[in-house]
Amino acid sequence: MKDVQGKVGVVTGASSGIGRAIAIRLGIAGCKVAPIARGKAGLNEVVKTIRKEGGTAEGFPCDLNDNAKLKETLKAIESKFGTIDILVNNVGVGTFKPIDRTSYEEVLAPIQLPFGAALVASHTVIPGMLNQGSGHIVNLISPAGILPLPNMVPYTATRFAITGLSHALHEELSRKGIGVTLVCPCQVNTGYLKNNDADMGWYPKLSQVLPVLEPEVVGEKVLEAIVKNKKDMFFPPILNASIRFYQKFPEFSFWFLRFLGILQPTNK
C-alpha cells in the first residue's frame, strides 16, 4: 500500500501510548482513522488531535475483552467509513513475574488481549479486504514475541501467538493483495507498567542493554511498514541485529545470554 491517503485505518488500544501515536500518525498521513479503546476520554483526545492536524477521525469506545462487542464495533466502522483498509492490532495486557507467583486471572488475561482481540479483529476485516483486493494488517509485539523470556510466561506465550498469527496471515494473504506486518520495537516509554501492574524488576536484565523509544517513533515505523509492505520490522538496529542472530543461532544465543547473566531478573 504505497499511499494511505483516504484509507480507512483502525487502531486498537488507541487511547494512549503506542496506539495513540500510531493513530495520530496515520491521521496526519491522510487516513480516516477509527481508534478503538475502552477509555473514552483518551479516545476523544486522540480524535481532537487528529482533527486539529486537518485529519479525519472518529473514536469508537469498546471493551476489547468482549469479542462480540469488538466485532459489532468494527461493523459500525465499516458502516460509517466503508471497508477497513488498515488494521493495527496494538492492544495488549500482561504482567511480569515468575509463573508460580502469577494468579489464575493473570494467566488468562493475555490470552484475550492481545491474541483473542487480534484474531477476532483480523477475522472480521479480512473479507472486506479480500473483496476489494487490498488492505494491510499490522500486529504489534515486544521482543518477548520472538525470544522465550523467563518470568513472564503468559505474556511471552501470547506474544508468540501473535507472531504465529502474523506470519500465517502473511503466507495466506500476501499474494491476494493484503499486506501483513509484524512490528516489534524494544522498550517504549508508555504507561504500560503502571496500567498492567507489571514489575520491570522481573524482566531480564537484557532490558538494560536496549534503548527506550518514544511512542512517536513506533508510529513512524508502523506507517513505514505499511507503505513499504514489510513482513517484519524489528527496531532499533541493535534489536533487529539481535533477533536476526537469534533466529540463526537460537541455542548459542541463549547460552551466551545466560553466560553473561542478562537473562536473570533485577529482583532477587
* Domain architecture of the chain: domains with CATH: 8-260 (3.40.50.720)
Q: What is the pLDDT of residue 194?
A: 63
Q: According to the model, what pLDDT value does residue 208 have?
A: 86
DSSP code string of the chain: ----TT-EEEEESTTSHHHHHHHHHHHHTT-EEEEEES-HHHHHHHHHHHHHTT-EE--EE--TT-HHHHHHHHHHHHHHH-S--EEEE-------S-GGGS-HHHHHHHIIIIIIHHHHHHHHHHHHHHHHT-EEEEEE--GGGTS--SS-HHHHHHHHHHHHHHHHHHHHHGGGTEEEEEEEESEE-SSHHHHTT--GGGSBGGGGTS-EE-HHHHHHHHHHHHHHT-SEEEESHHHHHHHHHHHH-HHHHHHHHHHHTTTSBS--
Residues lower than pLDDT 50 in the chain: none
Render pLDDT for 102-149 as a digit per residue (tens, 0 to 9). 999 999 999 999 999 999 999 999 999 999 999 999 999 999 999 999
Would you state the pLDDT for residue 195? 62
pLDDT of residue 193: 58
Residue 165: how many CB atoms within 10 A of its CB?
A: 21
142 closest CA partner among 98, 70, 193: 193
Contact indicator for 17, 37 with CB cutoff of 8 Å: no
Per-residue exposure over 184-217, b if at least 16 CB sit within 10 Å of its own CB, e if not: bbbbbebebeeebebbeebbbebbeeeeebebbb
Residues that are catalytic:
155
Residue 100 has a pLDDT of 95
Q: Which residues pair with 265 in a beta bridge?
A: 204
